[in-house]
């Protein structure tokens, strides 16, 4: 799975299943939507923010999106836990309404900071407010500690879950979205049934 892109400014790691359960337990409805999308599709936070109901085909159980970073159109099967959650959301009458309305118009870095505080609420990282107080006591020489968990970690998590479920690298690359256009083109033969079979192997992180 080393060839699946999981690049980030800082080295990230995947969430463990217990950590995901702690995170989901403190998440608001909209953050729960975003987190489940990250887990089961590997989408980046900016792409999650941009999703509207027009991206979804609930009858076909699919999500279609042109990703912001690569411009690649992806058709992603919706894993059962994600689909169940989406079906509980208030759709409204406007198909162009955002899937996460509270995220609209917010800078991605602001959303990233909100996610970090959510991690802190779950006890997975130290609150930045607490860290700043500690750094202040230590003086300017204190370095800001970078967390190995962020929303991007959900992309690593999606990759890890696919790998642990025995999904081939080729299918995982297609589902997560590989950065190389040449490699992406070589994998366009992967059919929807193969991808659906892959996501159906993923664990239900919402189960008690």
180 band by pLDDT with thresholds 50, 70 and 90 = low
The two three-digit tokens of residue 189, written as one number: 């033969």
Taking a C-beta distance cutoff of 8 angstroms, is the pair 38, 48 a contact? yes
pLDDT digits (tens, 9 = 90+) for 33-83: 999 999 999 999 999 999 999 999 999 999 999 999 888 889 999 999 999
pLDDT digits (tens, 9 = 90+) for 155-177: 999 999 999 999 988 888 888 88
Q: Which long-range contacts (CB under 8 A, 24 or more apart) does 117-125 make?
A: 118/23, 118/26, 118/27, 118/31, 119/23, 119/147, 119/149, 119/150, 121/26, 122/19, 122/22, 122/23, 122/25, 122/26, 123/22, 124/19, 124/22, 124/23, 124/149, 125/149
The two three-digit tokens of residue 162, written as one number: 């696919």
Give me the CATH topology for the region 17-199: hpI Integrase; Chain A (1.10.443)
179 band by pLDDT with thresholds 50, 70 and 90 = low
* Per-residue pLDDT, 98: 96
129 band by pLDDT with thresholds 50, 70 and 90 = confident
């Amino acid at each position: 799975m080393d060839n699946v892109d999981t690049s980030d400014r800082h080295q990230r790691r995947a969430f463990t299943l217990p950590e995901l359960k702690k995170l989901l337990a403190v998440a608001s409805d909209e953050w729960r939507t975003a987190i489940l999308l990250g887990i089961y599709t590997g989408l980046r936070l900016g792409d999650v923010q941009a999703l509207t109901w027009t991206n979804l085909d609930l009858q076909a159980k699919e999500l279609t999106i042109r990703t912001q970073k690569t411009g690649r159109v992806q058709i992603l099967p919706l894993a059962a836990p994600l689909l169940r959650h989406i079906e509980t959301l208030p759709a409204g009458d406007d198909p162009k309404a955002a899937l996460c309305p509270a995220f609209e118009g917010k800078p991605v870095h602001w959303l990233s900071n909100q996610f970090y505080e959510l991690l802190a609420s779950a006890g997975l990282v130290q609150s930045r407010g607490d860290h700043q107080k500690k750094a202040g006591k230590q003086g300017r020489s204190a370095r800001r500690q970078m967390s190995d968990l962020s929303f991007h970690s959900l992309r690593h998590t999606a990759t890890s879950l696919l790998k642990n479920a025995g999904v081939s690298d080729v299918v995982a690359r297609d589902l997560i979205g590989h950065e190389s256009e040449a490699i992406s083109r070589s994998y366009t033969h992967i059919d929807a049934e193969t991808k659906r079979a892959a996501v159906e192997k993923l664990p239900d992180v919402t189960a008690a």
